[in-house]
Amino acid sequence: MQKNNRLTINFFTRKHRVHSENLIVYCRITIDGERTDFSINREIKANLWDNNRKRGKGFSSYVISLNKYLDQIYTGLHEAHRLMMAEEKVITPLSS
């Protein structure tokens, strides 16, 4: 019998190890309490990140592009999760 396999996807930022005004954007996948984080290889200035919405703020072309990219990641991960559930595979954060 398959577990609940509840999927949660969050985006967050971390500071560079080297002093910089830019933040690195990460994605966190959590499935049934197990989680994994990975960098999406994008950066954003600290004043352009909305920590409540977990998205870039403003209407610059870079922020709009970043937010579209975050939406693509979010949708792609949900689609992969849905397909794996349909195939009744064992799902972990690393298998999504």
pLDDT by residue (tens digit) across 45-89?
999 999 999 999 999 999 999 999 999 999 999 999 999 889 888
Q: Predicted confidence band at 30 (pLDDT cuts at 50, 70, 90)?
A: very high
> DSSP letter at 19?
S
Structure tokens at 39: 């960098």
Helices then strands (H, E): number in the chain? 1, 5
pLDDT band at 39 (very low <50, low <70, confident <90, very high): very high
| Residue 65: how many other CB atoms lie within 10 Å | 12
Each domain of the chain, given as residue ranges in start order, spans 7-86
pTM of the model: 0.88
**Nearest in space to 79 (alpha carbons), one of 94, 55, 96:** 96
